[in-house]
């Protein structure tokens, strides 16, 4: 048993300094990075990894001034509607067919779409991540916006370490970027698979050169590099490609490649 189909989604973009992704990179060097979502088809239906932005925090001027004041970090929405709904419509998948959601972490570009699933499906996360988001006075300063996930209707399924989300989908703790960040190992039906780093490694150069990511909470940059090495070990042991979370070259190329490899 394993995952039968993978569909990559781009749920927006982020105009930001490269130093957000690579520790020590020049702040004047900027990038336009994709906001990722991953759909995985299993026997029970579709599992969604990460949910993109909360559009209300971007489109409402008052909320934008609080949560995205800029000019250093600029969120970019892909269209006039809800990014997740538009992305699903573009690939012919109904939101009602998603039976479980997992978030790599609670940053606003990954957890903002949880509003679509509150009261509907289980949401998987690391317990340490949710605890930090709900209790730390520094959470919002670190781009973890409680408004995205503080909903009593959310059916949290919290893990304290490695956990199976569904057959063929395993969450692997990779803390550092946030307190409870998790990456995902995806085993394909019939063999093979992938390791999705998400923000444990934003770019290919993070992986190839084991460069620490630029954002981290209550740890050192080197701690984030150790998580990259951990994922590289898993990738090597299983023979799976390790996919960075926000690479502006890799993500669109893989989106096209996966569309051809995993047709509807």
DSSP labels, 108-142: HHHHGGGGGTTTTSEEEEEHHHHHHHHH-TTTGGG
Six token digits for residue 236: 């090597």
Q: Give the mean model confidence (pLDDT) for residues 79-101.
A: 97
**Number of domains forming the structure of the chain:** 1
Both tokens of 4, joined, read 């039968």
Looking at every residue in the chain, the average pLDDT score rounds to: 97
Q: State both tokens at 62.
A: 């008052």
Helices and strands, counts by H and E, the chain:
8, 12
pLDDT in tens, 29-52: 999 999 999 999 999 999 999 999
Structure tokens at 260: 């051809």
Strands 45-49 and 98-102: parallel
- Per-residue pLDDT averaged across 11-39, rounded? 97
DSSP strands (E only) in the chain: 5-17, 30-42, 45-49, 74-76, 98-102, 122-126, 155-159, 163-166, 169-173, 182-187, 193-198, 241-244
Q: Which domain holds residue 111?
A: 5-261
Q: Is the pTM for the entire model greater than 0.95?
A: yes
Domain of 45: which CATH number?
3.60.15.10
Q: Tens of pLDDT along 164-210?
A: 999 999 999 999 999 999 999 999 999 999 999 999 999 999 999 99
Q: How confident is the model at residue 1 (pLDDT cuts 50, 70, 90)?
A: confident
């Amino acid at each position: 048993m394993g995952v039968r189909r993978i569909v990559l989604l781009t749920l927006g973009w982020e105009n930001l300094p490269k130093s957000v992704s690579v520790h020590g990179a020049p702040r004047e060097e900027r990038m336009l990075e994709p906001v990722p979502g991953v759909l995985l088809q299993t026997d029970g239906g579709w599992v969604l990894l990460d949910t993109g932005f909360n559009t209300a925090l971007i489109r409402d001027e008052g909320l934008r001034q609080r949560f995205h004041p800029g000019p250093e970090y600029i969120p970019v929405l892909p269209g006039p509607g809800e990014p997740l709904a538009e992305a699903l419509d573009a690939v012919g998948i109904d939101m009602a067919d998603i039976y479980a959601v997992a978030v790599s972490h609670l940053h606003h570009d990954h957890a903002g779409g949880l509003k679509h699933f509150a009261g509907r499906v289980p949401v998987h996360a690391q317990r340490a991540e949710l605890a930090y988001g709900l209790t730390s006075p520094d959470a919002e300063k670190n781009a973890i916006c409680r408004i995205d996930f503080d909903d009593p209707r959310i059916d949290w399924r919290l893990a304290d370490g490695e956990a199976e989300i569904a057959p063929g989908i395993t969450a692997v703790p990779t803390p550092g970027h946030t307190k409870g960040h998790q990456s995902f190992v995806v085993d394909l039906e019939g063999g093979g698979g992938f390791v999705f780093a998400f923000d444990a490694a934003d770019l290919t150069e993070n992986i190839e050169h084991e460069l620490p990511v630029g954002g981290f909470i209550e740890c050192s940059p080197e701690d984030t590099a150790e998580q990259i090495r951990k994922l590289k070990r898993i990738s090597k042991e299983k023979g799976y490609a390790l996919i960075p979370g926000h690479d502006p070259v890799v993500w669109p190329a893989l989106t096209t490649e996966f569309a051809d490899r995993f047709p509807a």
